[in-house]
Amino acid sequence: MKGLVLAMNTRTTVWVWAGLGALGFGCGEAKEPPAAEPTELIGLRTTDQQALHGYDQVDAEKGVYQLPVARAIEVVAADPQLLASLVKLPDLEEMTPIARGEYHFNNTYACAGCHLLDGKQKLGPHLNGRFGGPPSVLESGESVAFDEAYFNESVLNSRAKMVKGFPPIMPVFEGRISTADLDDLRAFLKTTKPAS
Ligand code: HEC
């Protein structure tokens, strides 16, 4: 075995000779590997929340955390069994805005934890087929068109307009979401259809 290639979400390929060499993975005629940039991230799947405490969980269902490569190497060195749990993170830059929006909806911001896309209510109202659909009815009794401005405000400042019949549990995303991510979320949600 000549080393292990880990694909990053930055489109870079990193050789983790050094870390794995210490574990006894052959590294005989190793050339000097390019050093991993501190910003390069990799996914690690584990149910051991303690080990990866403090890192972003990007897929709650599968227990995937994203962490810097250097840290991943340390974690794997401490528990070699985790080597098999290293996963390729989706390359967000390579994805279409719609696919990225779906990823953000399900993973990055976990909107899906509260909003369904099949016309049913969960903790919050369903969000499929809403753009250009019937208006939202607010606690104030007012009706408001579900357009881009309303969507953005609902996400950034979720308390500004409360949908009738729901508790004020939606997080305020102002300062926690980029304009680009918001654009992607809209692009994705616009592709969803009303439940028939
Ligand atoms: C913890 C649960 C929760 C999460 C997570 C959450 N929401 Fe909400 N959301 C709600 C609830 C409850 C409401 C209705 C009450 C209100 O208006 O705040 C709501 C309302 C909305 C509305 C207005 C819906 C309508 O019918 O007019 C939009 C749009 C929305 N959320 C989008 C999102 C998006 C996008 C995300 C992820 C970035 C998200 N929400 C994450 C609970 C949540």
pLDDT digits (tens, 9 = 90+) for 54-105: 888 887 778 888 888 888 999 899 989 989 999 888 888 899 999 999 999 9
What count of Cα atoms within 13 Å lies in the side-chain half-sphere of residue 119? 6
pLDDT digits (tens, 9 = 90+) for 153-196: 999 999 999 999 999 999 999 999 999 999 999 999 999 999 98
Looking at residue 22, its pLDDT comes to: 38
148 and 175 in a common domain = yes
10 Å Cβ neighbour count for 60?
A: 12
Q: Choose one of 56, 73, 91: the last residue of a domain.
A: 91
82 and 56 in a common domain = yes
Task: Kindly report the pTM of this predicted structure.
Answer: 0.74
From residue 80, give the alpha-carbon distance in Å to each of 33, 37, 59, 134.
Answer: 21, 22, 22, 54
Domain, as residue range, for 16: 5-91
Atom of ligand 1 lying closest to residue 177 CA:
38
Looking at residue 140, its pLDDT comes to: 96
Ligand 1: which residue has its CA nearest to atom 11? 124
Backbone Cα Rg of the chain = 21
Output the DSSP codes for 11-64. Answer: S-EEE-HHHHHTTT---TTPPPPPPPPTT-EEEEE-S-TTTTTTSEEEETTTTE
Average pLDDT of the residues of the chain: 82
Ligand 1 pocket list (CB less than 6 A): 109-111, 113-115, 123-125, 127, 136, 146, 151, 154-155, 158, 162-163, 166-171, 173, 185
Ligand 1: which residue has its CA nearest to atom 40? 111
Pairing, β 41-45 against β 86-87? antiparallel
CATH number for the domain spanning 154: value is 1.10.760.10
Checking if the pLDDT of 32 tops 90, the result is no
Looking at residue 7, its pLDDT comes to: 39
Distance 180 CA to ligand 1 centre (A): 18
Residue carrying the six token digits 């190497």: 73
Per the domain annotation, does 15 fall within a domain?
A: yes
Average pLDDT over residues 117-130: 97
Distance 171 CA to ligand 1 centre (A): 8
